[in-house]
Structure 1
């Protein structure tokens, strides 16, 4: 029987350039709670975490109730932003071609993201990507990265062993999650964490583009399925 392999992608900073929307929504959330204005680099650091966890990292001195209130304010700001005509987060170069190439070689595709289910659905709608991902793990249903739960559930959804799964992401949270789940770990250099951080967290390879993604994933999983 043909061996099945699963490529699981992070979303923000890996497939889509979402930093502008995330920084804007977080700034609006802080302002609504009279917390001042966060530095954009602070916000970019927590992209990839689940929302309440991200808020607790941004404001470690605040109470859990404040973290939850900030998360709710962020959701409201993001929902309002999503209604604007120019709010769609753009795909990074080569994303569609990479997905096409992996599917042509027999890879299953999945997502593991700190976004909400609603946020993922909106993104898939906007970019006409529905039906491309056989498993979608979101912050609504799982503990925050780097907990390995998203990858463990993705493996169970698809009936694929950890050794036949590769996580592709732009943050140390993604790489640490992959290490905890004992899957392959591929970083991308165009996201929100540095090359050094990706390597220290367990990246086996860091891509500068998606051009050779099939060759890299084949090498990590021992060749075509």
Structure 2
């Protein structure tokens, strides 16, 4: 059944499109060292992926003030940029993601991204993987409130010209699912990211998928259902 109205699939980046956990943990470890802090446990670092950087640092370092959080966040940005400049940054696409994007586009679905990355970081990732220009809307946390606030999804819907009922948010964390619920957008949780499946289900994900093939089918099924 062909689409009669515009439809939009909005993807999280880290943990959904690309596996950036090793570079994120490495940059956070380097940032902590700058401020004479012991290395962070990788597990809580992975759990804050998706939040804006300042919020993520605040969760990791609750005993410090906002100025200190901002300083650590800036050190993180510097460390991440050094990885990119030196060629040691590791952000591979998850298996099947490129094919998923191709399949959705072939069905006329518009594509977007909503991420806790900076716009500079997102642009670099998309350029590296040859995905620049594939997305009609790119939302980053340096433009306004980060996840789970719905602002990024509101902006994505506005830029794409698609109502909330014609969109699906795809993400690996509860922040993605909570953002979608607040924006009245359906959501799909992916099991290959940084939060547990049970958490995604509790947060309200309409579907949980274990592979990019399942993701393609789930998104197309959900978007077709909105036309009926």
Same fold per superposition (TM over 0.5): yes
Alignment counterpart, residue 124 of structure 2, candidates 122, 125, 128: 122
Superimposed CA distance per residue, residues 177-203 of structure 1 (whole angstroms, 9 cap, x where no aligned partner): 000001011000000000011011111
1:1-225 superposed matches below 5 A: 2-223=4-225
Paired residues, what number? 225
Distance 2:162 2:47 in 1: 31
2:166 touches 2:226 (CA, 8 Å); kept in 1?
no
Matched residue SS, 1:212: helix
Superimposed CA distance per residue, residues 32-77 of structure 1 (whole angstroms, 9 cap, x where no aligned partner): 0012110000100100000000011111111000100010000000
1:170 touches 1:188 (CA, 8 Å); kept in 2?
yes
Superimposed CA distance per residue, residues 120-171 of structure 1 (whole angstroms, 9 cap, x where no aligned partner): 1111111111110000000110211000000000000011000111000000
Give the CA deviation at 1:215: 2.6
Distance 1:12 1:212 in 2: 19
1:105 touches 1:224 (CA, 8 Å); kept in 2?
no
**TM-score of the superposition, structure 2-length normalised?**
0.95
Superposition RMSD on alpha carbons, in Å? 1.3
Distance 2:88 2:57 in 1: 26
Unaligned runs of 5+ in 1: none
Distance 2:190 2:215 in 1: 10
2:10 touches 2:113 (CA, 8 Å); kept in 1?
yes
